[in-house]
Amino acid sequence: MAENPLESLANGLKLLQTLRAQVNSFSELVFKGPANVEDDSEFKFLFEEESEEDFMSELRKNLSESSQIVTEFEKIVCSLPASSLPTNPGPTSLLGIDPLLDKTPIPQQAIPTYKWLSKMHDEASLMANLSSSNLVRRNPLTSLVPSKKPKKGNVIGYQVLPSGLENLISQLAGYFQDLSITVVKVNGPQINPCILEVGVTQVMKALLLMRGYVIENVSVKAANESFKVSESAKLDFNYLSKHEVFRKISQHAKCAIVSYQSSSLSPDICLRQMLFWFQSYKSLFTSPCSKCNKILVDFLPPTMRDLRIYEPLHVFCSKI
């Protein structure tokens, strides 16, 4: 009778279960042995012989049943179709691979990792605190430190009405007594973008490219220099001063703009801060350095200014 292979397998498994139970009962029989005879009469040996015979017959019966089961099981195994393909155990074969857990130094590695992570967390918290209290930074890190102050509404520095910028410039011109602020160039009827020229007494002058309240470029020159290559040329932010002192101030001004504008200050406040910063250069050639207390170092006056208190500094002294 040709059976379905799956049915044959199921029958084979059932036979195995039966065989297992049979072997168990055989083991129990052997363990118990022949039944004890509770008789002290002279015919005791007769009862003992009878008991042993019963025991042996039961063993034979058990063994013959087991033998039958094994025979049937072998028949089923022979009836199964032989597989020519190699057996693919799939991912279960990985179970046999020794993961060598005992040899992997996980605890030894975990302790230094925990210490390193803890140290990194402490230093990151310290860095976030320092960055939040320091204005001189390139990237705003306010997201790292939760602010308790309510956030101000976003000021869109680029989109400013011409009247708004004109009003602001006129206010600033009246406020900064040592600065002369003039609008140099207006493209058509719009004031956005525009170029401001900021004169710092008789010392120097700066050209600011404004888009709304946002300063996009800056160039610094001596008071008697021009921002044009020739009279007919256009204003050129890349046409540098012939004096090294103003070329350096020009670089510092660009850094100051980046620092102020990358802080959480609104663009109009940044413009005011920059004007305060420019105003501090009125004593460029007279104020000594706040660190070395000298005016000239390497034939240059203190070309740097602190971004908060506007103290004069030499480039060399700022690195100490």
Residues that bind Zn ion (CB under 5 A): 289, 291-292, 314, 317
Shortest distance, position 266 Cβ to Zn ion, whole Å: 33
Shortest distance, position 292 Cβ to Zn ion, whole Å: 3
- What CA–CA distance (Å, rounded) separates 227 from 264? 32
Radius of gyration of the chain (CA): 48
Shortest distance, position 277 Cβ to Zn ion, whole Å: 18
Structure-block tokens of residue 96: 């046999």
**Residue 118 to residues 77, 112, 145, 209: CA-CA distances in angstroms?**
63, 10, 18, 47
Q: At a CB cut-off of 8 Å and minimum separation 6, what does 239 contact? A: 219, 227, 228, 229
Q: At a CB cut-off of 8 Å and minimum separation 6, what does 247 contact? A: 240, 241
Q: Which is nearer to Zn ion, 254 or 291 (CB)?
A: 291
Shortest distance, position 312 Cβ to Zn ion, whole Å: 8
Q: Which is nearer to Zn ion, 205 or 314 (CB)?
A: 314
Q: Which is nearer to Zn ion, 110 or 296 (CB)?
A: 296
Shortest distance, position 287 Cβ to Zn ion, whole Å: 11
Query: How open is the CA angle 233-237-243, to the nearest 5 degrees?
Result: 100
In the bound state, the residue with its beta carbon closest to Zn ion is 289
Q: Which is nearer to Zn ion, 186 or 292 (CB)?
A: 292
Shortest distance, position 297 Cβ to Zn ion, whole Å: 5
Helix segments in the chain, DSSP class H: 5-32, 44-79, 106-133, 162-175, 244-261, 267-279, 315-318
Q: Which is nearer to Zn ion, 195 or 304 (CB)?
A: 304
Query: How open is the CA angle 17-22-25, to the nearest 5 degrees?
Result: 130
Report helix, strand and coil shares of the chain as percent, to nearest 5: 50, 10, 40
Shortest distance, position 247 Cβ to Zn ion, whole Å: 19
Task: Scan for tokens 């990985």, then name that residue.
Answer: 94
Q: Which is nearer to Zn ion, 211 or 291 (CB)?
A: 291
Q: Which is nearer to Zn ion, 131 or 287 (CB)?
A: 287
Structure-block tokens of residue 307: 């971004």
